Amino acid sequence: MTSWLPSLKTNTAEEGYELAVKLSRMAVKLTQPDAEARERMRGQYAEDADALIVASHVVATNFATVAAANGYWRDAP
Amino acid sequence: MTSWLPSLKTNTAEEGYELAVKLSRMAVKLTQPDAEARERMRGQYAEDADALIVASHVVATNFATVAAANGYWRDAP
Amino acid sequence: MTSWLPSLKTNTAEEGYELAVKLSRMAVKLTQPDAEARERMRGQYAEDADALIVASHVVATNFATVAAANGYWRDAP
Amino acid sequence: MTSWLPSLKTNTAEEGYELAVKLSRMAVKLTQPDAEARERMRGQYAEDADALIVASHVVATNFATVAAANGYWRDAP
Amino acid sequence: MTSWLPSLKTNTAEEGYELAVKLSRMAVKLTQPDAEARERMRGQYAEDADALIVASHVVATNFATVAAANGYWRDAP
Amino acid sequence: MTSWLPSLKTNTAEEGYELAVKLSRMAVKLTQPDAEARERMRGQYAEDADALIVASHVVATNFATVAAANGYWRDAP
């Protein structure tokens, strides 16, 4: 079976940011496995500035981890 | 007696994420030891986008710790 | 007089987690020294998913500190 | 195609702070891609002290990452 | 004039925790310099579990800094 | 033009704390550039314990960065 998280390594900072978003969503998925329920809530909080800001905080926290794991992509071309 | 947390070491990043989820839930368990009460609340906050996002933040914070403990799984195959 | 926090050193990860819980509660104790008032609030927030999740976040933040202080218990048996 | 995040490297601390702001906004953009909807919410939360403070927290978290990535600009002139 | 924060160095972990509490309160003091207003709010949030938990989070974040500054008091007697 | 953030270096821990406060306010300024609007909100949240506590959290997060950037002022006189 393929892992949804084979590694924290990414080629670029931008891909690292995308991985941080994925990590942030996975925790929600584990608590609310019903895709339809998640879609419904997404429609709601996409219009709710407070929720969007907190969601951005979660991504920031995960991005810190991914960035550290990649040595901040300092050796990237 | 077996420890619920024998180590922070995991074989893969995905297992590390699962451990982060476990760490996040354990704090709730310690404050609310009644499994039925927890189950009841879970049904509620699974429909509450704000709560799910904050729960995801807790997992992110614990994942940072687990990832650091595992050297970010850099030597994983 | 004995210190309530003689050290951040613990023998195991599980004991480290318990210390993180203790650190989280101590800040509450310092602001609300009345044990009865704390007990009363505890009964309330034990039924409040949002409060439990945020409490779990505090434990996660303190656990990060305790884990770092213990070198993530990498040398534990 | 140009990346919106080619690197975490910036010349100065001030530019690093600007990058942290950019990182903070990008997560919002990914959840709410409609620029008009974002503009509407911005008008609202710009008058909401609570939202502004939490937004400032997100920037602080991202700034920590950018600052670490840049060695805290210690060698800057 | 004496500084309210001459150093982050403390002799023990417990003193470090006290310094973290002091750092947490100072930010409040800088925004609300009126001691009477702070005392009034203190009476209120001391009965508010949510506020106490968030206050505990602030202490946890400052304690992480103080603990790192002191090498986690590993060399303490 | 002078930068508002020429460096993260400060001579003392206290000055570092002041810089953390400045960093925390700058993010608010960037979202709400109208000084009068900020002043109005300040008057409100200065009476709001919850907002003051969260504001203190932002300062704590920025202080962690500034303290790390300064090697925790370990070599200070």
Nearest Cα residue to B56 out of B12, B31, B26, B24: B24
Q: How far does the CA of residue F34 sit from the closest CA of chain D (Å)?
A: 9
Residue in chain A nearest B57 by alpha carbon: A58
pLDDT digits (tens, 9 = 90+) for C23-70: 999 999 998 999 999 999 988 889 999 999 999 999 999 999 999 999
Q: What is the mean pLDDT of residues B18-28?
A: 97
Q: Does B2 touch chain C (CB under 8 A)?
A: no
Containing B67, the helix (H) or strand (E) segment is helix B49-69
Q: Is residue A17 a contact partner of residue D20, using CB atoms and an 8 Å limit?
A: no
A and D touch with 3+ CB pairs <8 Å, answer: yes
Which residue in D16, E75, E44 sits closest to F53, CA to CA?
E44
Q: Which residues of D touch F6 (CB under 8 A)?
A: 12-14
Q: Is B41 on the interface with A (CB under 8 A)?
A: no
Mind listing the pLDDT tens digit for each residue in C1-21? 689 999 999 999 999 999 999
- Which residue type, as a one-letter code, is found at position E18? E
pLDDT in tens, F42-75: 888 899 999 999 999 999 999 999 999 999 999 8
Amino acid at D39: E
Give the chain E residue whose CA is nearest to the CA of F54.
E54
Q: List, for residues A7-53, the tens digit of each pLDDT value.
A: 999 999 999 999 999 999 999 999 899 999 999 998 888 999 999 99
pLDDT at A1: 65
Give residues 14 to 33 of D whose Cβ lies within 8 Å of F.
Answer: 14, 17, 21
- Tell me if D66 sits within 8 A of D8, measured CB to CB: yes
Q: Which two three-digit tokens encode residue E64?
A: 């992480």
Residue D5, in any domain of the structure: no
Burial profile D34-70: b = 16 or more Cβ within 10 angstroms, e = fewer: eeeebeebeeebbebbbbbbbbbbbbbbbbbbbbbbb
Instruction: Please report which confidence band the pLDDT of residue C22 belongs to, taking 50, 70 and 90 as the band edges.
Output: very high
D44-63 average pLDDT score = 94
Strand, helix or coil for residue D43: helix
Show the 3-state SS of C41-69.
HHHHHCCCHHHHHHHHHHHHHHHHHHHHH
Q: How many CB atoms lie within 10 A of CB D73?
A: 22
Give F63's contacts in chain E (Cβ within 8 Å). 23, 62, 65
**Given a cut of 80, is residue B76 above it in pLDDT?**
no
Among residues F21, D65, F61, the alpha carbon closest in space to that of E65 is found at F61
Structural domain for B49, as ranges: 13-70
Flag whether F20 is in a domain: no
Query: What is the Cα gyration radius of chain C?
Result: 14
Tokens of E13: 């972990």
Q: What ipTM goes with this model?
A: 0.96
Q: Among F45, F48, F67, select the one facing E8 at the smallest CB separation.
A: F67
Is residue F77 predicted with pLDDT exceeding 90? no
- Given CB atoms, is F50 within the 8 Å cutoff of chain E? yes
Residue B5 belongs to a domain: no
- Residue E77 within a domain: no
CA proximity to B61, closest of F27, C20, E23, A62: A62
Q: What is the mean pLDDT of residues D21-40?
A: 94
Domain total of chain D = 1
Q: Which of these, E4, E1, E19, E35, lies nearest to F15 by C-alpha position?
A: E4
Identify whether D77 is part of a domain.
no
Residue A30 falls inside a structural domain:
yes
Residue B36 has pLDDT above 80, yes or no: yes
The answer, yes or no, to whether B and A have at least 3 beta-carbon pairs within 8 Å is yes
Please say whether the dihedral angle defined by the alpha carbons of residues F31, A50, A68 and C55, taken in this order, is positive or negative: positive
Nearest CB among B7, B24, B54 relative to C76 is that of B7
The residue of chain C nearest to residue E16, with distances taken between CA atoms, is C5
Is residue F7 situated within a structural domain?
Answer: no
| Residues constituting chain E | 77
The answer on pLDDT for E1 being more than 70 is no
Q: Could you tell me if residue E59 is inside a domain?
A: yes
